[in-house]
Each structure stands twice: as structure tokens, then as C-alpha cells.
């Protein structure tokens, strides 16, 4: 009898705090969970107890049940707009105007909120989505008349602040050709006679559009002429033929990740007819059907139309060559036959961009000049080689020669037209730090067509080099224009002198026609 009494269950005094009540009870339950079950107290998925449910209780214990709710809340907050100051040559020097009103954007922020006994205890951001992008306030400061007018031969077209501009005969006679501010710079081609401009425009609602752009044509001679849209979209490259009766173009498609597009690696030629009543086009003819022809082909291909109009040069990440425009695509092939002139190891950028050779033609259409990567390197390790050279490649394959060494990847060589003596020269950039040419500034040099007489024309000793090498030669080869610190500058070879042509800080892609 004494042993049985010792083993008998012991009653426990428990204080239970739940749902705003205080219950005092005697129980033989062993764990917190047993007590709750006896009292018909159901725990929600997020409720908690102190002590925890599987804890054993002693002779006396206090059990606290905390009711927990987790909710999702979304709030909208403004994104303040910012202010931009731009220089605008449309207005007199010193005049300030509001070019664009600022508008706040909107961001939707989602929070996960925890409530205990009806009171908020924690709030954690779990998602953020921009509903509307802010629109910057743009203040334009007039710079018209701040520069002396400089005579030029022919017509120079360029992009400034997203618009096409043109100057003809003198730099003082410059005017905007568009005012929408939406040129994306993928296609920007001036006809050889300086009259027609071919350009691409970003979609009106770029944030929600899956189109890359659209292609437009404009008569640059007619004041107030409205651009005319062509039936081509998603352009990565477009260029006039020398006679401006045909255009060549290549396309891509929008992608959600970087860099925002994927090249189709196609190539089309489309005849066009321009009249006072409009532009008519004929069905495009493929030279290349969409395909994957080379390493890193998702980035695209460089093209350049020969001055004689019979060939188009191409540049992959590992190859330079040309194709004949008149050749049709064979029925059993994806491409018109291509003539490979130079192969080399592709450069591995380790980024979401791809290096492609910049290419240009000699004025007689006999040579292609281009930047070549690591021409002498071991192909198994040359992808990381920082060596770049400027090569001249004969169209018939008879000449393959390096004209300039250690130029850097952005050399962008351009061959001049024939001068009065029937000679031509080559302008190109040279990296000031060739082993890091991706980020280096560049000097600007000129050399003879055989690589001799290399002369540096920029920068002088007290100035920095070019951030980007963008060059265009005058039709008479006596001058060239280059982009310097966001403006166009003209170099006159006879005077060995630079003159500033624009004062907006946002000029790029100069094109020079007759």
C-alpha cells in the first residue's frame, strides 16, 4: 500500500493565460500540449506558447498562449524625380527653359506584417515593384552663339540629347532634325550626298514594350520635314547603300535580362524609292537568314557597305570578311557565301557585352580595315590576351597586314576619301594604357594607307585622351571630326588646328556627307 501511494499521479496547479482570460486549474496533464487539449484550446499555424507545446510542466506552472497573425500589406510611395541640366544650342546663350517637367514616379512596396494579440510587432519588406518611373525635370541652358562659326565642306549629321542634328557649310548653320529625344543610336546613317538620314527610334513606352526600336528616314535638306517610318523594327544595324536606293539592316529581339536583346544574326537588303509624296519600299531580300554563325553571336555582327555598293563587310567576334550583295541565298543554305579574310581568337570580356572588331572600307573598295584581337597569340589562351592591332585586309585576299600595333580594342579605324592627289589616309585610336584598353583613354592618330607616317593629332601634352573614338572624314579628306568630351571638334590638317563645333556636351555619332 505504501508503494502504490508513492506512484500515484500528482495533481498540478496551472495558470493558463489565453485569449485575454486567466484560468487557474488543477490537472494531471504532463505537457503544455496536453493542458491545451484538455481545455479545448486550438492553436493556429502561427500561434505560439510559453513554454513550448512539448515542454513538461511541474507542480505549478504558468502557460501563456500568444495569438499570432501574419498579414501581407502593400503600400505605394512616390519616387522623387531628379533635375538634369543640359546645354541646348537651339536657344540663345544664357537662356534657361524647362525642356521637360519633372514627374514623381510610384513604387509599390509589399510588407509581411506580424501581429501578436492584435498588436503589430514586426514589419518586413518582401517585394518592391516600380509602378511608374519618375520623369526627370530637364532644364535646358542655351548655348547658341557661344562658339565661333567654323566653315565645313559638305554636311555633318550627329545625335545630341536623343535628337538628330545637322550642320551644313558652317558650324553656325546647325539645326535639329528631330525633337522627340528618342533616337537610340543603333542605326544612324547619312547618305553619301548628305541629303537623307536613316535612324532608329526607341519605342514610346520602352518600359512595357517588347520592341527594340523602329526605323525612320528623313530628308535633311527640307526644313520642317517630318520623319517617315519604314516597315522595319528591332534593328541592330542599318545603313544606306552608296546610292541611297537600298538599305541593309540586321535585327534582334527583346530579352528581359542583360543586355536587353538577342541578335538574330540576319542580314537583309531592301530597295527604297524616295519621292515628294513619301517613301516606298520593296520586299527585303535576305543575304543571311537568322542563324548562329560565330562565338558570342547573341550580341550581333558588325557590318559596313563598300563604297562601290557591291559588297558588305562583316565582323564576328573571331572573324572579318565580306559577302557579295548581288549573290542570292542558295535554296539549300542559310547564307550568301562569305569570303573570310582573317580569323582570330575571340576576346573574353567576362561581362554582359561582347567585343566586336570595328571595320571600314578603303575608298576604292579594295581593302577592309579593322581592329584584330591577339593575332599572334596561342588560340587556346588568347581569349584573355590584351593585344589588339589594326589590320588591312585586301578584298581579294592578296594582302593581310598589320598597320598599327598595340592599339587597344576601341581603335575604330576609319579610311579617308581620296584627296586631290588621289591618296587616302587612315585615322584611328591608340589606347594610352594598351594592357587595359577597355577602360583606357585614347590618342588619335593618322597614318598613310601602308601604315607609314603615323602622326598623333590628339591629345596635346596638357589634355586627356578621348573617352570614345568616333571619327568622320570630310568628303575632300582635308578635315575630320571627332567626339571630344561630349562635343564635336573639327581638325583641319592644313592648319593643324582643332575647332569646337558643338556646345551641348551630348554629341555623338558624327556622319559626314557631301
- pLDDT single digits (tens) 249-274: 999 999 988 889 999 999 999 999 98
In what helix (H) or strand (E) does residue 2 lie, and over which residues does it extend? helix 2-7
User: pLDDT tens digits for 197-211?
Assistant: 999 999 987 666 789
User: pLDDT tens digits for 8-31?
Assistant: 568 899 999 999 999 999 999 999
Query: Could you give the C-alpha distances from 33 to 16, 62, 317, in angstroms and in order?
Result: 12, 13, 69
Confidence band for 278, pLDDT divided at 50, 70 and 90? confident
In DSSP terms, 311 is beta-bridged to: 324
More confident: 217 or 383: 217
DSSP for 383-438, written as a single string: GG---EEEEEEETTSS-EEEEESS--TT---EEPPP-TTS--EEEEEEESSGGGTT
Q: Do 239 and 247 contact (CB within 8 A), yes or no?
A: yes
Q: What are phi and psi of 114, to 5 degrees?
A: -105, 130
pLDDT of residue 3: 43
How many whole angstroms separate alpha carbon 487 and alpha carbon 89?
12
pLDDT of residue 351: 86
In what helix (H) or strand (E) does residue 6 lie, and over which residues does it extend? helix 2-7
Name the 3-class secondary structure at 422.
coil
Q: How many CB atoms lie within 10 A of CB 435?
A: 10
pLDDT of residue 291: 81
Mean pLDDT to the nearest integer, 354-380 = 88
Q: Do 266 and 301 contact (CB within 8 A), yes or no?
A: no
Mean pLDDT to the nearest integer, 164-191 = 94
Cis peptide leading into 51, omega within 30 of 0? yes
pLDDT of residue 258: 84
How many whole angstroms separate alpha carbon 142 and alpha carbon 13?
87
pLDDT of residue 82: 93
Asked whether the predicted pLDDT for residue 328 surpasses 60, the reply is no
Q: Do 172 and 121 contact (CB within 8 A), yes or no?
A: no
Mean per-residue pLDDT of the chain:
91
Q: For 231-262, give the secondary structure using H, E and C.
A: EEECEEEEEECCCCCEEEEEEEEECCCCCCEE
pTM listed for this prediction: 0.78
Sign of the four-CA dihedral 121, 125, 127, 128: positive
Q: Does domain 12-66 have CATH number 3.10.20?
A: yes
pLDDT of residue 376: 64
Mean pLDDT to the nearest integer, 324-351 = 79
Q: Do 359 and 368 contact (CB within 8 A), yes or no?
A: yes
Give which of 347, 363, 467 is closest to 412, Cα–Cα.
467
Confidence band for 379, pLDDT divided at 50, 70 and 90? low
pLDDT of residue 92: 82
User: pLDDT tens digits for 457-497?
Assistant: 999 888 899 999 999 999 999 999 999 999 999 999 999 99
Asked whether the predicted pLDDT for residue 378 surpasses 70, the reply is no
Q: Do 472 and 510 contact (CB within 8 A), yes or no?
A: yes
DSSP for 33-64, written as a single string: HHHHHHTTPPPPTT-EEES-TT-B--SEEEEE
How many whole angstroms separate alpha carbon 183 and alpha carbon 453?
38
pLDDT of residue 275: 81
Percent of the chain with pLDDT over 90: 76
Confidence band for 2, pLDDT divided at 50, 70 and 90? very low
pLDDT of residue 334: 59
Sign of the four-CA dihedral 6, 11, 13, 14: positive
Confidence band for 1, pLDDT divided at 50, 70 and 90? very low
pLDDT of residue 6: 47
Q: Do 468 and 501 contact (CB within 8 A), yes or no?
A: no
Angle at CA of residue 20, ends 14 and 24, nearest 5°? 20
Asked whether the predicted pLDDT for residue 93 surpasses 90, the reply is no
Query: Could you give the C-alpha distances from 113 to 108, 110, 204, 338, 386, in angstroms and in order?
Result: 16, 10, 38, 63, 53
Cis peptide leading into 415, omega within 30 of 0? no
DSSP for 70-121, written as a single string: EEEEEEEEEE---EEEEEEEEEETT-EEEEE--B-EEEEEEEEEEEETTEEE
Right CATH for 70-112+120-137 from 2.20.230.10, 3.40.50.720, 3.90.320.10, 3.30.1130.10: 2.20.230.10
User: pLDDT tens digits for 28-61?
Assistant: 999 999 999 999 999 999 999 999 999 999 999 9
Q: Do 498 and 171 contact (CB within 8 A), yes or no?
A: no
Question: For 85, what's the count of Cα atoms within 13 Å in the CB-facing half-sphere?
Answer: 6
Query: Could you give the C-alpha distances from 472 to 60, 63, 443, in angstroms and in order?
Result: 92, 84, 16
In DSSP terms, 71 is beta-bridged to: 113
Angle at CA of residue 393, ends 422 and 373, nearest 5°? 130
Q: Do 390 and 367 contact (CB within 8 A), yes or no?
A: no
How many whole angstroms separate alpha carbon 288 and alpha carbon 322?
12
Give the chain's largest Cα–Cα span. 131
Domain boundaries of the chain, sorted by first residue = 12-66, 70-112+120-137
Q: How many CB atoms lie within 10 A of CB 277?
A: 6
Amino acid at each position: 500500500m505504501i508503494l502504490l501511494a508513492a506512484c500515484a499521479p500528482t495533481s498540478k496547479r496551472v495558470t493558463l493565460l489565453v485569449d485575454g482570460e486567466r484560468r487557474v486549474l488543477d490537472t494531471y496533464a504532463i505537457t503544455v500540449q496536453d493542458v491545451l487539449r484538455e481545455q479545448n484550446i486550438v492553436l493556429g499555424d502561427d500561434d505560439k506558447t510559453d513554454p513550448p507545446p512539448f515542454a513538461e510542466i511541474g507542480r505549478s506552472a504558468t502557460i501563456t498562449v500568444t495569438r499570432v497573425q501574419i498579414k501581407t500589406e502593400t503600400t505605394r510611395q512616390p519616387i522623387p524625380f531628379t533635375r538634369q541640366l543640359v546645354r541646348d544650342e537651339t536657344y540663345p546663350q544664357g537662356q534657361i527653359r524647362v525642356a521637360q517637367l519633372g514627374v514623381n514616379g510610384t513604387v509599390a512596396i509589399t510588407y509581411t506584417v506580424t501581429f501578436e494579440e492584435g498588436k503589430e510587432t514586426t514589419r518586413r519588406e518582401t517585394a518592391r515593384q516600380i509602378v511608374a518611373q519618375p520623369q526627370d525635370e530637364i532644364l535646358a541652358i542655351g548655348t547658341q552663339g557661344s562658339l565661333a562659326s567654323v566653315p565645313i565642306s559638305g554636311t555633318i549629321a550627329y545625335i545630341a540629347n536623343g535628337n538628330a542634328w545637322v550642320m551644313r557649310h558652317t558650324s553656325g548653320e546647325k539645326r535639329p532634325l528631330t525633337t522627340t529625344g528618342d533616337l537610340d543610336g543603333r542605326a544612324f546613317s547619312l547618305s553619301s550626298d548628305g541629303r537623307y538620314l536613316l535612324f532608329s527610334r526607341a519605342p514610346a513606352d520602352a518600359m512595357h514594350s517588347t520592341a527594340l526600336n523602329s526605323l525612320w528616314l528623313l530628308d535633311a535638306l527640307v526644313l520642317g520635314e517630318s520623319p517617315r517610318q519604314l516597315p522595319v523594327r528591332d534593328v541592330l544595324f542599318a545603313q544606306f547603300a552608296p546610292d541611297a536606293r537600298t538599305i541593309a539592316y540586321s535585327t534582334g529581339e527583346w530579352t528581359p535580362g542583360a543586355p536587353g536583346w538577342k541578335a538574330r544574326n540576319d542580314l537583309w537588303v531592301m530597295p527604297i524609292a524616295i519621292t515628294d509624296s513619301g517613301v516606298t519600299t520593296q520586299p527585303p531580300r535576305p543575304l543571311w537568314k537568322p542563324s548562329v554563325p560565330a562565338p558570342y553571336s547573341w550580341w550581333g555582327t558588325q557590318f559596313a557597305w563598300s563604297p562601290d555598293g557591291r559588297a558588305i563587310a562583316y565582323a564576328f567576334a573571331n572573324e572579318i570578311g565580306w559577302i557579295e550583295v548581288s549573290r542570292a541565298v542558295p535554296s539549300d543554305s542559310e547564307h550568301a557565301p562569305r569570303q573570310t579574310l582573317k580569323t582570330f581568337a575571340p576576346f573574353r570580356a567576362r561581362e554582359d557585352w561582347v567585343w566586336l572588331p570595328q571595320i571600314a572600307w578603303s575608298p576604292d573598295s579594295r581593302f577592309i580595315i579593322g581592329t584584330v584581337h591577339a593575332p599572334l597569340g596561342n588560340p587556346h589562351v588568347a581569349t584573355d590576351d590584351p593585344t589588339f592591332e589594326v589590320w588591312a585586309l585586301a578584298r581579294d585576299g592578296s594582302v593581310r597586314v598589320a598597320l598599327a600595333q598595340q592599339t587597344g580594342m576601341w581603335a575604330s579605324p576609319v579610311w579617308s576619301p581620296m584627296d586631290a592627289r588621289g591618296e587616302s589616309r587612315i585615322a584611328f585610336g591608340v589606347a594610352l594604357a594598351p594592357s587595359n584598353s577597355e577602360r583606357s583613354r585614347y590618342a588619335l592618330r593618322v597614318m598613310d594607307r601602308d601604315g607609314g607616317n603615323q602622326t598623333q593629332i590628339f591629345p596635346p601634352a596638357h589634355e586627356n585622351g578621348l573617352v570614345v573614338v568616333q571619327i568622320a572624314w570630310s568628303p575632300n579628306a582635308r578635315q575630320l571630326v571627332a567626339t571630344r568630351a561630349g562635343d564635336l571638334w573639327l581638325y583641319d590638317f592644313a592648319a593643324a588646328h582643332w575647332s569646337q563645333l558643338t556646345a551641348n556636351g551630348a554629341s555623338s555619332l558624327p556622319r559626314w556627307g557631301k
